[in-house]
Amino acid sequence: MTKRALLVGSNFSAVPLLFALKRRGLHISVCGNRPDEPCHAHADQSHFMDYSDPNALLSLVENGDFDFIVPTGNDVAYMSTTFVAGKLGFPRFDSMETATIIHTKQAFRRFTERNDIPAPRSVRLQGDAPPIETGALRYPLLVKPSDSFSGRGVTKVFDRTELAAAVADARRNSRSAEVVIEEFIEGSLHSHSAFIKDQEIAFDVFVDEYCTVYPYQVDSSNHPSRLCETVRSKTRAIMARVVKLLRLEDGLIHTQFLSNGDDVWIIECMRRCPGDLYGSLVDQSLGIDYADLVITLLLGEAFSVTPRFEPPLFFGRHTITSDTPSTPFSFSHFIPSSDVRIAQLKTTGKPMNAAPFDKLAILYARFETRDEMLKVTPDFKTFISLQTLQGDLA
């Protein structure tokens, strides 16, 4: 009998996961409340529902006779799926307590402080508590919603006079109205994707990341990373300790961190796939299938990785956005690469919100040398010309 899988989420970032499931011959159901999102077009069955309600998702799974449930690339999908997995006994999911520690900034900061994990020092505000004295924290500070993503509601403040407005903005962008205030760390931004098997890192990759249009939303990245082996080893050791402390189940743990010299600060972690087709950057550089590795671990299959490209090819990735609302007509580029690949996300004439709330396309460019990759990737936006019906935004 054909086994059945439910994919929780339906947007473009979930498509690689869906096709990894299809290659296994599974019957695939997709849930999400946007009929226009692409995963519905490839599913055997669709359930148009709001999976942010964990009890509604629980009811669907209880009545669906699913063998596997698969979260996609957002925190809401992951947390609702984890809730259902705990209720119904699906294997290879962490407990809700552990998932909350990892996916909530406030809880994760408590965890790093208790366990001496290197991370920015912070204080927390709950509910409608007024901004408190930040004590020993040194300005500038970052004020963040405890449960948002893509840099939404994050503000850098330079003195106490700016604190109240930043806290109010963070609360507007938080479902829980909880806020984290942390020291701003000067350093370069990177990510670490580690695939965990039996509480050991079985395979990992490092990526350099850049925020070039909207502060604190990553829109450009490259692989391989420029990080030295000392920083890689230190980050790997920190995350191996996190895995042991939390007794993580098999699967992906994806981490953003800052580096300055040989120092490392862990910013945030997630057990879901990162969004915006992040895995495709790694796929094209190494010749692997990132989404397939995620599914392999989730389904409990034998895990092995053999990169086709060794050493890796030099690839950069850029998400095309705008700092103002617009109606895109077309875009062009003059990236110094003979191999540019474009994933179009929006059709001509469809309005586009300003970053971080919308995006036009994601492109990948292959470079011949490491130096060329590292020269272009941090400035990708300067190589893009966006033509809109309001006038060029180049």
100 in a structural domain: no
Residue 342 sits in a domain whose CATH number is: 3.30.470.20
141 inside domain: yes
Considering the domain boundaries, does residue 394 fall inside one? Answer: no
- Do 160 and 240 sit in the same domain of this protein? no
User: 140 and 83 share a domain?
Assistant: no
Query: Which pLDDT does position 117 carry in this prediction?
Result: 97
pLDDT for res 122: 82
- Say what the pLDDT of residue 184 is: 87
| Residue 304 and residue 363 in one domain | yes
Per the structure, the complete domain to which residue 301 belongs is given by 188-388
Convert the pLDDT of each residue in 57-97 to its tens digit: 999 999 999 999 999 999 999 999 999 999 999 999 999 99
CA–CA distance, 318 with 281 (Å, rounded to integer): 10
Tell me which residue has tokens 């080893």: 233
Longest CA–CA span in the chain (Å) reads 65
Q: Which of 145, 161, 183 is the last residue of a domain?
A: 183
DSSP string, 127-187: TTPPPPP-TTPPSSEEEEETT--TTTT-EEESSGGGHHHHHHHHHHT-SS--EEEEE---S
Instruction: Read off the CATH number of the domain in which 58 is found.
Output: 3.40.50.20
Banded pLDDT at 167 (limits 50, 70, 90): confident
Same structural domain for residues 249 and 319?
yes
Global confidence as pTM: 0.92
Asked whether residue 105 is domain-assigned, the answer is no
- pLDDT at residue 149 greater than cutoff 70: no
Mean pLDDT of 186-201: 97
pLDDT of 203 over the 90 cut: yes
Q: State the pLDDT confidence band at 151, using cuts at 50, 70 and 90.
A: low
Band of residue 104 on the pLDDT scale cut at 50, 70, 90: confident
Q: Is 383 helix (H, G, I), strand (E, B) or coil?
A: helix
Among 363, 329, 359, which Cα is nearest to 345's?
359
Residue 75, in any domain of the structure: yes
Q: Are residues 178 and 149 part of one domain?
A: yes
pLDDT single digits (tens) 279-329: 999 999 999 999 999 999 999 999 999 999 999 999 999 999 998 999 999
Report the pLDDT value the prediction gives residue 121, as an integer from 0 to 100.
87
Total domains present in the chain = 3
pLDDT at 174 > cutoff 90: no
Do 156 and 218 share a domain, yes or no? no
Mean pLDDT computed over 186-213: 97
Instruction: Extract long-range pairs of 271-275: CB within 8 Å, 24+ residues apart.
Output: 271/78, 271/94, 271/99, 271/102, 271/103, 272/71, 272/72, 272/73, 272/74, 272/75, 272/77, 272/78, 273/13, 273/17, 273/72, 273/73, 274/73, 274/191, 274/193, 275/13, 275/73, 275/74, 275/149, 275/150
Dump pLDDT digits (tens) for 335-367.
999 999 999 999 888 999 998 889 999 999 999
216 shares a domain with 283: yes
CATH number for the domain that contains residue 154: 3.30.1490.20
Q: Are residues 201 and 321 in the same domain?
A: yes
